[in-house]
Structure 1
Amino acid sequence: MDPASSLQDVKPVPFWLDDPARPEAGSALVGDVHCDLLVVGGGYSGLWTALIAKERDPSLDVVLIEGQRIGWAASGRNGGFCAASLTHGLGNGQQRWPGELARLEKLGAQNLQAIEDSIKRYSIDCDWERTGEIDVATEPYQLDDLHEFAEMAAQFGGDCTVLDAEAVRAELNSPTYLGGLWDKDGVGMVNPAKLAWGLTQACLDLGVRVFEHTEATALAEAGAGLAVRTPYGRIFAGRVALGTNVFPSLVRRVRAYTVPVYDYALMTEPLSTEQLASIGWRNRQGVGDSANQFHYYRLSADNRILWGGYDAIYHYGGRVRAEYDHRPQTYQTLATHFFRTFPQLEGLRFTHAWGGAIDTCTRFSAFFDTAYRGKVALAAGYTGLGVGATRFGAEVMLDLLAGERTERTALEMVRRKPLPFPPEPVRWAGIELTKRSLDQADRNAGRRNLWLKTMDRLGLGFDS
């Protein structure tokens, strides 16, 4: 079967947002309003910030604005992997913050549990499953890395099990699998759009004023506070938290720290009982392979397979544009790789195909900053692991706005920013060379060339 035929009837919209139960759009802000805290951005970063601010101080007057619809960008387009890691994995954390990695792992585990607790407390219907994740090896050289990672995870209290080929295929049956590593507790699966909608309702129930189709266009000081301009009015706030992530920040000097990298995904039709039996997957873990250009995949609540990753596309100039949300050549590549992984599912069709921008920074994990003498805080750069880490970022932003020294704000990860990306055309050339070098490493038993080794030494890189 030609894999492209599986895309014949695909809808070019994010599966999670294509839901008849999607809430109606909220009103836009018209006129001038005043508040104690303004949160800019209606994705996870902003929603968690508004919710936790009200939990900390119910009397606080909080306004949240979103330029389009709640959860329409990365928060409604991702794979729904909610990880405990705040550092984009143990390896990245060990390379960058070895002295505080134990603390970061502890805070990450607490953060994941807090997400689960909030889902229960606010009765958020978002298909939450604490199934963990399996990293699978599909090339022999990747097997040693699995054992090394398991040993490292054990040092920090992680519950990871190394699986040989037979054991991993008993969990999920693919002829491509040579081994795997099952992190049993550090990742949950979630319907990402339903999580965003549920967090919005929790915010509303606590008294947060939420406005959609209200873009923040300018930020300036106004007396002792701040003023944010929107298309139909202004918001005067004592403090402002920016959760705009991949979109150009209202604090211009931080724009060089992130670039938008486009990631793509497919969703299959629901598997039949026989199709599901042919692959197993009784424990419903999330899965990722161990290559540099990796795939991630998981089951939905109605037993569809989300299949994403591999291509990570940067467009010259670093702009976020709607026309970049779809890339047919990547969809065809993903379909080809899907049936190579699961040949027993030949004939299965894809129903949805979509893409979206990830806010990537040079250290692959969030960074933080303040502006306007501490009256503005921001967090960005989550690099694809924001489903869980944005809640931690919300706590950090609120700590910074309160001027408090906490366990979070004392972290080197919070106090220091990554290296910025160089201007164009050096930025584009460097990213393209890195991508080609990563592809070469995948084809050459993982051996990294001189360019990648240099990037490693400089603390730079490129990842999805």
Structure 2
Amino acid sequence: MQSNQHSSFWFQEAIARESNATVQALEQDIHADVCIVGGGFTGLWTAIQLKQKQPSLNIAVIEKDLCGSGASGRNGGCMLTWSTKFLSLKKLYGEAEAKRLVKASEQAIDEIEAFCQEFQIDAQLRRHGTLYTASNAAQLGGLDSVLNELKRHSISSWQPWTKEKVQAESGSALHQEGHFSEAAASVQPGLLVRGLKRVAEETGVAIYERTPMTGIEKKQQPVCITTPKGRIRAGKVVLALNAWMPSLFPEFKNSVVLVSSDMMITKPIPEKLAKTGLKDGKTVIDGRTFVHYYRTTPEGRLMLGKGGNYFSFANRMSKVFDEPSRYQQILNAAFHRFFPSLPLELIDSTWTGASDRSATGMPFFGRLKENPDIVYGLGYSGNGVAQSWMGGQILASLVLGENNTWTRSGLVSGPLASFPPEPLRWFGALIIRNAIRRKEKAEDHHRRPRWLDCQLAKLASSAGKADKG
């Protein structure tokens, strides 16, 4: 099976293990109880959870390329919870729901691990936790307010580490402080999403790859979806397109902004990594606005990523998102700062992922106004590997018309905020991004940032840290 030559290292590795697999495209008209548009984490979790609840459902999934070739197979593989977003959750949905969502996001880690074990998905899932750090003096104490609130509500999984332990466990002397949580994991996202595809098919879900949606009659019942070689008439439709939603559904054009997360990975260097102190699969995330994040793989590679680089004008799915990173100079600089003993020649590959960042920093779900039989979910804002399991629960519950904690969640309110229209959004995003870069560069070099840069940076911080999952 051939994949896009510019896909991530993760996805290429996963596809290489499927040398005998075939691609089934839709070539005729069909009927389905449920049609899911999008074959990534959200779409596949929804299909599987629908089948688990009602095995008799006739479910069809269509994917324009290969399942997982989009953001699901291109992210950093950091399975993180929403605990550090508790204050934002509380502000948006209230204290009780915020506590429930933090616990649910932790449960998602357990559920995904159990699912992989039950269905023998070798996704290199490692329950080694996560370490949130301060990589310069300005970041010290950045988590204090949220950690105090989590502790006050008895839902904190975090523990402070000494500076010496942080530096030893993270493999880098750059870190000044850190807090560790066991409620996290790392995973090879390409292997996970391809594993979900296999399980979905084994449960009876029909999956059609290289079958893009070319049209949808939203006001018709059953809903009619057109593809290049066939139509699908479905009683219920799930739109699990995430970063592709704004370009296909104009009603969401101001609900998210598409921004890149850029990643690099080294060749296998287990001995060199052992000398730095990196000895397990924990994820390490620093405290800047557009974070650095890194982790190792079982074969001894080191992956490092940086969020918040390329902002797409009018949320167009630019070719940038399907190319090696344009920001390798930034990645190289970060790699050298964190690991000065490792030469840049060890870098094997770079790639780019598209993140659909909402104005609140949280995903949102709902029903289309034109037709309540069409449900949607998007806006994971860089935290979606574990949260997509929750998204599948929400969307499956909406499809079945259930009245439960998922359908009553504040997440099921559609977009709660919006970005300015173009061109203000794009110009504003670049101004704020560049201010953040100048501010954090000054902080890295122990200089006082300019006052204006600090004020502009505050405009981005309201939605929380981003682009690592």
> TM-score by structure 1 length?
0.90
Q: Is the Cα–Cα contact under 8 Å of residues 311 and 330 in structure 1 kept in the other structure?
A: no
- 2:113 match: secondary structure: helix
Shift of 1:175: 2.1
Alignment of 1:334-353 (within 5 A): 334-346=331-343, 348-353=345-350
Match of 1:97 in 2: 93
CA distance in 2, matches of 1:328, 1:37: 37
Q: CA deviation at 1:395?
A: 1.2
1:16 counterpart residue number: 10
Q: Aligned match of 1:129 in 111, 121, 126?
A: 126
Shift of 1:245: 0.4
SS at match of 1:375: strand
Tell me by how many angstroms 1:328 deviates. 5.5
Pair 1:330 & 2:324 matched: no
Which residue number corresponds to residue 384 of structure 1? 382
- For the pair 1:255 / 2:253, whether they are aligned, the reply is yes
Q: Once the two structures are superposed, what CA deviation does each residue of 1:69-103 show, in whole Å capped at 9, x if it has no partner?
A: 11001111111011232x87334324433422111
Question: Which of the residues 379, 398, 401 maps onto 2:396?
Answer: 398
**Alpha-carbon separation, structure 2, partners of 1:452 and 1:353:** 27
1:281 aligns with 2:278: yes
> How large is the RMSD of aligned CA atoms in angstroms?
2.4
1:154-211, CA deviations, whole angstroms, 9 ceiling, x for partnerless residues?
Answer: 33423211112111122123121111111112x1111100001110110011000010
Please name the residue that 1:302 is paired with. 299
Q: Quick check: 246-255 or 204-213, which moved more?
A: 246-255
The letter of the residue matching 1:133 is T
For 1:162, which of 143, 155, 160 is the aligned residue? 160
Q: 2:225 aligns with which of 213, 216, 228?
A: 228
Q: CA 1:276–1:327 in structure 2 vs 1: closer, same or farther (change >3 Å)? A: closer
Structure 2 Cα separation of the partners of residues 79 and 25 of structure 1: 27
Q: Counterpart in 2 of 1:408?
A: 406
How do 1:354-365 residues align onto structure 2 when only pairs under 5 Å count?
Answer: 354-365=351-362
Counterpart Cα distance in 2 of 1:405 and 1:234: 31
Structure-1 separation of matches of 2:388 and 2:59: 18
Query: CA–CA distance in 2 between the matches of 1:362 and 1:138?
Result: 26
Give the Cα separation in 1 of the matches to 2:398 and 2:170.
Answer: 44
- CA deviation map 1:93-138 (0-9, x unaligned): 2443342211111222222222122111211111111111101111
Give the superposition deviation at 1:251.
4.2
Where 1:128 maps in the other structure, the secondary structure is: coil
Residue 312 of structure 1 deviates from its aligned partner by: 2.2
Specify the code of the residue in structure 2 equivalent to 1:90.
Answer: F
| CA spacing shift, 1:51–1:130, aligned 2, 3 Å | same
Match of 2:182 in 1: 184
Summarize the alignment of residues 45-60 of structure 1 with structure 2, pairs less than 5 Å apart: 45-60=42-57
Q: Matches of 2:287 and 2:171 in 1, distance apart? A: 17
Gaps of 5+ in 1: 1-10
Aligned counterparts, 1:427-446, within 5 A: 427-442=425-440, 443=442
Answer with 69-78 or 160-169: which moved more: 160-169
SS of the aligned residue for 2:372 comes to coil
SS in 2 for 1:59: coil
Aligned equivalent of 2:424: 426
* Structure 2 partner of 1:7: none
Separation (CA, whole Å) in 2 of partners of 1:304 and 1:242? 35
Tell me which amino acid in the other structure corresponds to 1:175.
A
Which residue number in structure 2 is paired with residue 268 of structure 1? 266
Alpha-carbon offset, residue 349 of structure 1: 1.1
| 8 Å Cα contact 1:80-1:387 kept in structure 2 | yes
- Could you tell me how far apart the structure 2 residues matched to 1:78 and 1:328 are? 13
Q: SS state of the match for residue 385, structure 2? A: helix
Q: Distance in 2 between matches of 1:421 and 1:226?
A: 30
- Counterpart pick for 1:81 among 78, 98, 101: 78
**Structure 1 residues 137-216: aligned runs within 5 Å:** 137-154=134-151, 155-185=153-183, 187-216=184-213
Identical pairs, percent = 27
Q: Distance in 2 between matches of 1:283 and 1:323?
A: 32
Of 45-54 and 334-343, deviating more is 334-343
Partner of 2:363: 366
Give, in whole Å, the separation in 2 of the partners of 1:422 and 1:327: 29
Q: SS where residue 386 of structure 2 aligns? A: helix
Tell whether the 8 Å contact from 1:365 to 1:383 is kept in structure 2 after alignment: yes
Instruction: Classify 1:462/1:146 alpha carbon distance in 2 versus 1 (closer, same or farther; 3 Å).
Output: closer
**Cα pair distance change 1:281/1:143, threshold 3 Å:** same
Q: How many Å separate the matches in 2 of 1:158 and 1:38?
A: 39
Q: Deviations over 1:248-281 (max 9, x none)?
A: 35543223312221111000011142x1222112
Map 1:441-460; keep pairs closer than 5 Å. 441-442=439-440, 443=442, 449-453=454-458
Query: Cα offset for 1:423?
Result: 1.8
1:141/1:333 CA distance change after superposition, 3 Å: closer
Residue 222 of structure 1 deviates from its aligned partner by 7.6
Of 291, 302, 311, the residue aligned with 2:288 is: 291
What is the CA–CA distance in structure 2 between the aligned matches of 1:252 and 1:401, rounded to whole Å?
23
Q: Does the C-alpha gap of structure 1 residues 13 and 247 become closer, same or farther in structure 2, counting only changes over 3 Å? A: closer
Quick check: 94-103 or 331-340, which moved more? 94-103
Deviations 1:393-418 (A, max 9, x none): 11111222222221122222322522
Check conservation: 1:374, 1:401, Cα contact below 8 A. Answer: no
Counterpart CA distance in 2 for 1:222 and 1:137 is 51
Aligned to 2:309, the other structure's residue is in SS state coil
Residue 269 of structure 2 is aligned to residue 243 of structure 1: no
